[in-house]
Amino acid sequence: MEAVLQLNNVHKVFNEGTPDEKIALNHVNLQLNQGDFVTVIGSNGAGKSTLMNLVSGVLLPDVGEVKVETKKVTYLPEYKRAEMIGRVFQDPMAGTSPTMTIEENLALAYSRDKRRTLKKGVTKKRKEYFKDVLETLHLGLENRLSAKVGLLSGGERQALSLLMATFTEPSILLLDEHTAALDPSRAELITSLTKEIVERYQLTTIMVTHNMQQALDLGNRLIMMDKGQIILEVDEEKKRTLTIDHLMQEFKSIRGTSLTSDRALLS
């Protein structure tokens, strides 16, 4: 199998040399093969977001290297890496441009891995294509191509963000608690859409979540993080039989304390 993403010995410290010094990631190694869908759980401050930010290039590591496919991207700026990496954020407002229309937003996403030119962003041909991909969301957005995105509900916006992040088939998809800000029924919708889309495009995916059930339901691998380290890795075979209780016990036996995250317990 071919590695799509490799993190080798990645280390990141915040506020180094001050009393607030915090090791966000402690020499982490992680490898994702083509088509892997890894769910990441862990309490607040475990380093989940830092991990995502190092992959996407928002942050650069102090030590170690990041490889996407065979390319070393450790110091590649965020916007260049974005050609290969699709992202959906927690905040439904963050993934779209509110004053622009649905079709214009899709056109922005469509240009991700292409050179942007002085040709029209929304052409007739693209419109047809956008309609086709929007139909897969089953939200009726294909009939509202020229509606401003700011008028959509949070769930609709997040569904659109998910579509925009994926329909150009990036090498890696990063989902950073992308259902956490939605009400339960909308969250469920986005979860099932995520499953559908990742399967359709065979995307290599990392999903951070606080929802343990979601972490168990989705993906073929699971990792648990704590204090900047990956403390548990579950492979495909083991993950099928895993339950929330198992996960809690595992955490306890590794760390000697119980997993203390109200949000994790609640869900």
Partner 1 sequence: MFTALFGAFESGIIYAIMALGVYLSFRILDFPDLTVDGSFVTGAATAAILIVNGVNPFTATIIAMLAGFVAGCLTGILHTVGKINTLLSGILMMIALYSINLRIMGRSNVPLLNTESVFTHVSDFWGKIGIDSALNSMLVAIGLGDSLPRTWGILLFMFVITFVIKFLTDFFLRTEIGLALRATGDNQRMIRSFAANTNVMIVLGLGLSNAMVALSGSLIAQQGGFADVGMGIGMIVIGLASVIIGEALFGTKTIARTTLAVIGGSIIYRIVVTLALRVEFFEPGDVKMITAFIVILALVLPKFIDGYKERKRKGRRQAEYRKAVGVPEEGNGGSSASIK
Q: Which residues bind partner 1 (CB under 8 A)?
A: 56, 77-80, 82-83, 85-87, 89, 93-100, 104, 107-109, 111-113, 116-122, 164-165
Question: Using an 8 Å Cβ cutoff, are 136 and 166 in contact?
Answer: no
User: Cβ 93 to partner 1, closest distance in Å?
Assistant: 8
Decide whether 80 or 252 has the Cβ nearer to partner 1: 80
Question: What is the pairing mode between strands 3-14 and 85-88?
Answer: unpaired
Q: Report the SS3 class of residue 90.
A: coil
Decide whether 64 or 121 has the Cβ nearer to partner 1: 121
The DSSP 8-state label assigned to residue 101 in this structure reads: B
Q: Estimate the crossing angle of helix 102-110 against helix 154-166, to 10 degrees.
A: 30
- Distance of CA 243 to CAs 39, 49, 88, 240, Å? 14, 24, 26, 9
Decide whether 7 or 109 has the Cβ nearer to partner 1: 109
User: Cβ 114 to partner 1, closest distance in Å?
Assistant: 8
User: Cβ 82 to partner 1, closest distance in Å?
Assistant: 4
User: Cβ 161 to partner 1, closest distance in Å?
Assistant: 8
Decide whether 43 or 53 has the Cβ nearer to partner 1: 53
